[in-house]
Amino acid sequence: MDARTIILLLLSIILFHGPQTAQGATLTEHSPIFINGDSGWINSNGVLPGGNGSSSNPYIIESWNISAPNAPGIHINNTRSYFIIRNVFIHDGNTTGILLENVADGIVENSTITNNSNGIVLAGCTRNIIQSNTLLHNHYGIEVEGGKNNTLAGNQAYYSLNNTLTGNTLVNNKFGIHITNSSPHTKRKRTL
């Protein structure tokens, strides 16, 4: 199955069946989420009850359908709490789907981010994991600005052009970064 077929299939599921998590549960609409500092991890900010921000019991944001035309869909700033963002659908923004600034020890996984200026941005972040996300029709799929020891793995960036990865340290890898142009018109790969 080519990339265009996968995109059309994904979009038809979203349009005709409503956004769903990877487990098939329907997503709940939510306004954009902004968490500033360790005191911002509260239920009214879209955080599920029960987490305390430790490595064994992280804060969790999941199963939200977020339309974000004027603000980042999820913006987390200045925190050292452990957290997981998973199974969210962020769409139709003039800014960034998920913006992490000066944060450490977060995970963003199994989420779909589409039709935003930027899909996911890490700015000055440390030890975050961005994995198994689908990024569709964003100007930039994933952008890393400074920071260190972040992991980007298994993300699908369909039709996301001009992706920028900076500030990565690549040690003892067969290939450091593998970039594939998934445009239906060109199939180019570049491995660094």
pLDDT value at 183 more than 50: no
| 24 vs 77, more confident | 77
The predicted-structure confidence for 69-104, as pLDDT tens digits, reads as follows: 999 999 999 999 999 999 999 999 889 999 999 999
pLDDT value at 176 more than 80: no
The pLDDT value given to residue 190: 43
Task: Average the pLDDT over 20-37 and give the result.
Answer: 81
Where in the chain does DSSP place strands (E)? Answer: 28-30, 33-36, 59-62, 64-67, 74-79, 83-86, 89-91, 96-103, 106-109, 112-114, 118-123, 129-131, 134-136, 140-145, 151-153, 156-158, 164-165, 178-181, 188-191
The domain tally of the chain equals 1
Task: Average the pLDDT over 108-116 and give the result.
Answer: 94
pLDDT value at 173 more than 70: no
pLDDT value at 122 more than 70: yes
Residue with tokens 């180019």: 188
**Contact status, residue 176 vs residue 154, Cβ threshold 8 Å:** no
| 76 vs 172, more confident | 76
| 133 vs 175, more confident | 133
Across 48-57, 74-83, 155-164, least confident range: 155-164
* Nearest in space to 90 (alpha carbons), one of 24, 132, 135, 45: 135
Domain residues for the domain of 166 are: 3-191
The pLDDT value given to residue 141: 85
pLDDT value at 125 more than 60: yes
